[in-house]
Amino acid sequence: MRGFSVVAGIALAQLCLSASAQTAPASKEWPIEAFAELPAMVEPQLSPDGTRLAARVARNGELLLLIAAIADGPDRLHALPLGEHDLNWWRWVNDDWLIAGIGSEANVQGMPWSISRVASIKRDGSKINMLAKNVAAQNGDDVIWVAQDGSPRILLAYQTSIYSNAAGFWPQVDEVDVSTGKLRTVVQPRQNVMSWYADATGAVRMGVGYDDATRTSKLLYRADGRSSFRMIDRADRRRDESMVVPLLFTADPGKAIASDDHEGTDALYEYDLSRLELGRKVFAAPGFDIDRIERDTAGTGLAGVRYTADGPGVHWFDEGLAKVQADIDKAVGTGRPARIVSTSRDQQRMIVHVGGADQPGTYYYYDTAVGAMSMLAKISDKFGPKVHLSPVRTIRYKARDGLEIAAVLTLPAGRDAKDLPLILMPHGGPFARDSEEWDWWAQFLAHRGYAVLQPNYRGSSGYGTAFAEKGEGQWGLAMQDDLNDAVDWAVKKGIADAKRVCIVGASYGGYAAMRGAQRDGARYRCAVSYAGVSDLSAMMRYDSRFLNHGGRKDWLKEQAPDFAAVSPIHFAAQFSTPILLMHGKKDRRVQVNQSREMAEKLKAAGKVAGRDYIYVEQPLADHFFSRQADRLEFLQRLDAFLKEHNPA
């Protein structure tokens, strides 16, 4: 893999910052570069013995995969530059090997395709194997099992052909020795089965099939790794039918843990595989969906479950982890949520994140035998554990039809919450949500003196099935009304000045910003769209390149039955407020043409560049601000645009 080589000899201080560093109070005038800074470390994962970690880190504005020993030693630190590749995930297999999901782009028959692979990496960085590199086709990073016995084995599901009429288009499952790259096929491809599931012993127990032509799904199951698969359930997606797919196979081969939303929100249940029946409810977060489960060390039981209420939460079933969580929470005090990020096999050693919505936080290494936490890395060089920036809280308001909507409100530190200039900032997705967590955009804008309001409009995730379904057919319509109603709430409360409101967003939030400038321009002094969607028909054509695009088309038509009626690109003449359009040329999620052609339409409609609209194309930027230089340019452009059109 070109560009994916080992760099040794980097001082740890370059990546993980000193615990003795002093920080200034939040009232300080922070430079724009501080907010544009990439996180110094993201999601560090401990090796099973707890002596090493793997994490994505930033150095000189670029991302690396770091492998580091906790204690000093001759091979303490190794960093692997990513080059043009994306680092999608990483995980330890045993004490000597870890694996990482790598994404890249390749030209296939004259078109750009996203390619995924798995790399195995020795703990000292001396060896890297690209797994199934000579046989995998487009998708090659679905690891469905990792050995629990310390051996370097995984189960990898991957395609061997890009052609849908070939058997290899549907993934086979191989057992892979990550130390050598040797493969042994354990499950052959099956027509329409794209997803396979294994239990803790490594037995492939389940497959989920989907036929895009008929929009039907099927569930294949077997009780062990030797029996034949049989179909135990079917679902017609056109009739909104669904199937229960286990999240976890328990030690009892006939039992599992599954999530289901029949009571309104996703909750955890026991599941009888022989009768396909849900049993006892294991956990629910009233009013909110669960996010994901944490498995126990054996892989057959629940250690915990994570969910997001107004902010991130966790419930530990494991008594030891529950006690550790309580001890940490007591030690750090209120207002600084602590999150157990990763633990060793024996749960004696762990990495803990301590931070809050007003600070990016710090990673600590905690050895429970010693009973003390030591700083591992500050996420920000500037905003350390002593700095608290603008306060964040969740508010709730009523939309015009009476629907209650939650929104995250960030207010400038040290200023009265009265008649402030307001930035309305809808999230992307749209099936996503904002919560009380660190947000570099929102904190930058609040630091500049703006109130920032982030509504979780109808159709957002996390609030149950009924709330999500209220977004169907409402792109650019009732979903847009929800945004306007949030502004009305802020004005009525006296927080915002109705004459000083701008709408700013990315991805779907960028679409909402365009739609606001076009449909509701009288409400907004300006609009900013980053990587926004302007043309839903073009988006659907782009999606047609991907697997199961028929189902995606159905979903998009449910969200917006009339693409043309809610696509801003068809109404360039109606734009009545200045708009800043920015887009990364290397965006693989939303094509750059979505913003480029919007700018061309505005020009053709007689809008004046530099006055009515500004278009900025970032040649190396992706959809996720992976480069610090792109973050910085965006904030600089945003700052200058707001100073001109809606000064704080």
**CATH number of the domain where residue 412 is located:** 3.40.50.1820
- The predicted-structure confidence for 514-566, as pLDDT tens digits, reads as follows 999 999 999 999 999 999 999 999 888 865 554 455 556 666 777 787 889 99
Length of the chain: 648
Is 465 within a domain? yes
The count of domains in the chain is 1
pLDDT of amino acid 569: 97
Is 402 within a domain? yes
| Bridge-based pairing state of the strands 255-260 and 248-249 | antiparallel
pLDDT of amino acid 73: 57
Is 135 within a domain? no
- The predicted-structure confidence for 133-146, as pLDDT tens digits, reads as follows 989 998 999 999 99
Asked if residue 118 lies in contact with residue 102, where contact means CB atoms within 8 angstroms, the answer is: yes
d(CA 265, CA 245): 16
CA separation (Å) from 436 to 355, 394, 410, 454, 463? 11, 7, 9, 10, 15
Single-letter code of the amino acid located at 263: E
Is 440 within a domain? yes
Evaluate the CA torsion angle 53, 305, 508, 441 in order and state its sign. Answer: negative
Is 77 within a domain? no
Instruction: Tell me the residue range of the domain where 542 lies.
Output: 392-645
Is 504 within a domain? yes
Regions of the chain where pLDDT drops below 50: 1-24, 26, 546-547
Is 55 within a domain? no
Helix (H) or strand (E) holding 63: strand 62-69
pLDDT of amino acid 60: 86
Is 471 within a domain? yes
d(CA 630, CA 648): 24
Angle between helices 508-519 and 478-492 (to 10 degrees): 80
| Bridge-based pairing state of the strands 613-618 and 579-584 | parallel
pLDDT of amino acid 16: 37
> Strands, E, within 368-485: which ranges?
372-378, 392-398, 404-410, 420-424, 451-455
pLDDT of amino acid 333: 78
d(CA 408, CA 395): 6
d(CA 140, CA 133): 8
